[in-house]
Amino acid sequence: MTLRVVDLACARGPAQILAGVTFAVAPGEALILRGANGSGKTTLLRTLAGLTPPLAGEIITAPDAIAYAAHADGLKSQLSVGENLAFWAGVFGTKDTSAAIDAFHLGPLLDRRAGEMSAGQKRRLSLARLLVTGRPIWCLDEPTVSLDAENVARFAAAVTAHLGMGGSAIIATHIDLGLPMAQTLDITQFVAKRIRADDPFAEAMG
Amino acid sequence: MIALLKRDLMLAIRAGGGFGLSLAFFLIFTTLVPFGVGPQTGVLATIAPGILWLGALLACLLSLDRIFQLDWEDGTLDLIATSPVPLEGLAAIKALAHWLTTGLPLVVAAPALGLLLNLPAAGYLWLIASLLLGTPALSAIGTFGAALTVGIKRGGLLLSLLVLPLYMPTLIFGALCVVRGAAGQEALTPLLLVAGITLGSLAILPFAAAAALRVNLR
């Protein structure tokens, strides 16, 4: 399933952030989003995930193809690692959590409550959720935050395996993951010149 | 959706889930009333239906801001919104979980507190019936209010201001049903009106709550 984005304009709140975003990601490919802080990587990913409606343009893909992982881990601190994964498996209608547990080496932590884990361990659990969703296109927002080198390698291996199975990934990151089939897209080129159409401040200062 | 319900119930029962807080509030609230108005049994019997309904309503209100706020804070709400579960379904399940953890215990505890307030014997059946049929409306309306205020820091007060006026019809007919039942009068009409409000809320408000969530998640 190819994800095709045509002339997309994204907004966050009242402000237009990006305009004219165009790219395509084929199965087996990864797209690395680059751009300075605040350039609109998160806004683009939230738009792709369907959380924010686009101002203009089109996102062409199968329905329910995109799995989104945000800055926030989305874990329940009172539930154990196993219960958190089982919950997401239930929500996405998949059964098997063992692949996700193995990929991020969560076996020893299975009965630990998420609230008692370190930031890096929480991140691993949060990324393991992606495998549980069973969706082909991953949209990841800074997935390697608070991961150590060993687990960054684990994450890269998981993404590579996902690409190998015909999945694809769009990853906003600042580090080099060493993915084989990765294009890089610098989104600074799409940053909208006009911040807000009806911005009285810009009007007065311009 | 069943996974969602199971998780919500599990979270409510686990430490820090707040299960039982509303019930404890209801107990204390109704226990305080005789201290406030004096122990004359005649006075207490007259005001018992209203106090019991008001107590149940305020106890419900207490736990409303947790419905979506916790999921919003830890990012779970964003992730659920991108999952196959429709937001309408999410709102309905949240209302159901809220009712199971808050409304249902109140219904069970109400007769014991009726005894404390000297509610006439004829009123108990109507008290249970009206609370059983009326509290789901409180949860559904409250879920809508919680969806409107999700993402607002300390939105609890705003939530109360939005939701309390919407609770008015349920309170009026619910308490009226118990008053008439306790006095031995015909009480079926207000009970049916309460049931009608509940059915209407359950049919419409999950959609309104989902629309509010969509706007707030942008």
- Given the structure tokens 């215990």, which residue do they identify? B105
A66 contacts chain B (CB < 8 A): yes
Token pair listed for B71:
């999921």
pLDDT surpassing 60 at residue A203:
no
pLDDT at residue A201 in the model: 60
Question: What share of residues in chain B are helix, strand, coil (percent, to 5)?
Answer: 85, 0, 15
Mutate to test the interface with B, among A12, A43, A91, A129 (most CBs of B within 10 A): A91
pTM of the model: 0.87
**A194: helix, strand or coil:** coil
Query: Could you say which of A73, A86, A133 has the minimum Cβ distance to residue B75?
Result: A73
Neighbours of A127 (CB within 10 A): 25
What gap in Å lies between CA B198 and CA A98, rounded to an integer? 43
- Domain locations along chain B: 2-217
Nearest CA in chain A to B87: A51
pLDDT at A3 over 90: no
Taking only the tens place, the pLDDT of each residue in A119-149 is 888 888 888 888 888 888 999 988 888 888 8
ipTM above 0.90, yes or no: no
Residue B85 to residue B14: CA distance in whole angstroms: 24
**Distance in Å from the first CA to the final CA of chain A:** 45
Report which secondary-structure segment, H or E, holds A90.
helix A81-92
Whether A99 and chain B come into contact, CB under 8 Å, resolves to: no
| Contact assignment for B78 to A72 by CB distance below 8 Å | yes
Query: What H or E segment, with its residue span, contains residue A11?
Result: strand A3-12
Inter-chain CB proximity A51 and B6 less than 8 Å: no
Q: What is the pLDDT of residues B10-52, one digit of tens each?
A: 888 886 667 788 899 999 999 999 899 888 888 888 899 999 9
Shortest Cα–Cα distance, A3 to chain B (Å):
16
- Alpha-carbon dihedral angle through residues B81, A83, B93, B160, given to the nearest 10 degrees: -80
State the nearest Cα–Cα gap between B10 and chain A, in angstroms.
8
In three-state secondary structure terms, A37 is: coil
